[in-house]
Amino acid sequence: MKIDAHQHFWRYDPAEYAWIDDAMQPLRRDFLPGDVKPEMDRAGFDAAVAVQARQTLEETAFLLELADRHPFIVGVVGWVDLRAGGARAQLERFARHPRLVGIRHIVQGEPDDRFLLGAEFGRGIELLAELDLAYDILIYPRHLPAAAEFASRFEGHRFVLDHLAKPEIRRGEIRSWERDLRRLAARPNVFCKLSGLVTEADWQRWNEGDLKPYLDVAFDCFGAQRLMVGSDWPVCTLAAAYGRTTSVFEDYLARSSQTEREAVLGGTAARFWKLDLAERAK
């Protein structure tokens, strides 16, 4: 089974999605499961994990409702305020839903580069461990040293790095990113999504060769058993259609073993999130 480990859905509202700036005007509309399912079918993907795009409890409830109505959404990574006094109640409310598999905070938007290491946030991560919920790490390259320290503090917990920490592919910057990524990847409890790369490249002129050095590093650091493919749809459409975005990874994996291909294209995601795939859409 092929699993897209990173998709977003929203009913667009300018106030709620202020991060969609003028350069991203094509994203200023609704994006819902019915829009992506035909694209997934053409690309041969069977299932997907929906990931939060704004930090509200309402959005987490919305994504879980979508999962109830669309069986191909086999997991939801939502949001709760892990620093809040009511974090446990918030988490327990949503954790009763079988499709909630993890939580994410938009750390890349926080002014403190060491946000992940805050005491209150750490207590929230401990709650996730109690409820067997994974955590998505959404950061920029400058946050990688703090992320490595963060992962070392919670050695028994499952973390997945989104978008390879958004390397500066457009500028060709790789050396410092690679150095810091390797430190994070040395933590065996950290997995990684090969997602969001086309939008870190030049949207109009990128090619597969631009992405290959970063994929090479990721495979060397994590290995296939800790890597998973994600489209980052619909954000990816700023640079490429769904099919072209996912074909980058399939082309890259062409010379890999069948075991490695199956892991990256679905097996790792299923294992990491302990996905229940019995009711997925055919």
Residues 214-264 have pLDDT tens digits of: 999 999 999 999 999 999 999 999 999 999 999 999 999 999 999 999 999
Measure the CA–CA gap between 18 and 54, rounded to whole angstroms: 10
Structure tokens at 59: 């959005």
Residue type, 266: G
Do residues 187 and 152 make contact, with C-beta atoms less than 8 angstroms apart? Answer: yes
The separation between CA 132 and the C-alpha centre of its own chain, rounded to angstroms, equals 18
Residue 53 confidence (pLDDT) above 90: yes
Q: What would the DSSP string read from start to end of 246-257?
A: HHHHHHHGGGS-
Most distant pair of Cα atoms in the chain: their distance: 50
* Per-residue pLDDT tens digits for 63-88: 999 999 999 999 999 999 999 999 99
Task: State mean pLDDT over 140-154.
Answer: 98
| Residue 171: per-residue pLDDT | 95
Which residue matches tokens 């294992």?
A: 271
Structure tokens at 214: 């970063």
Q: Which CATH number fits domain 3-273: 3.40.309.10, 3.30.420.40, 3.40.50.300, 3.20.20.140?
A: 3.20.20.140
Q: Are strands 73-78 and 100-105 parallel, antiparallel or unpaired?
A: parallel
Closest CA to 113 of 150, 78, 163: 150
* Per-residue pLDDT tens digits for 18-40: 999 999 999 999 999 999 999 99
Task: State mean pLDDT over 112-141.
Answer: 97
- What pTM was computed for the model? 0.96
Overall residue count recorded for the chain in this entry? 282
Measure the CA–CA gap between 33 and 31, rounded to whole angstroms: 7
Residue 281 confidence (pLDDT) above 70: no
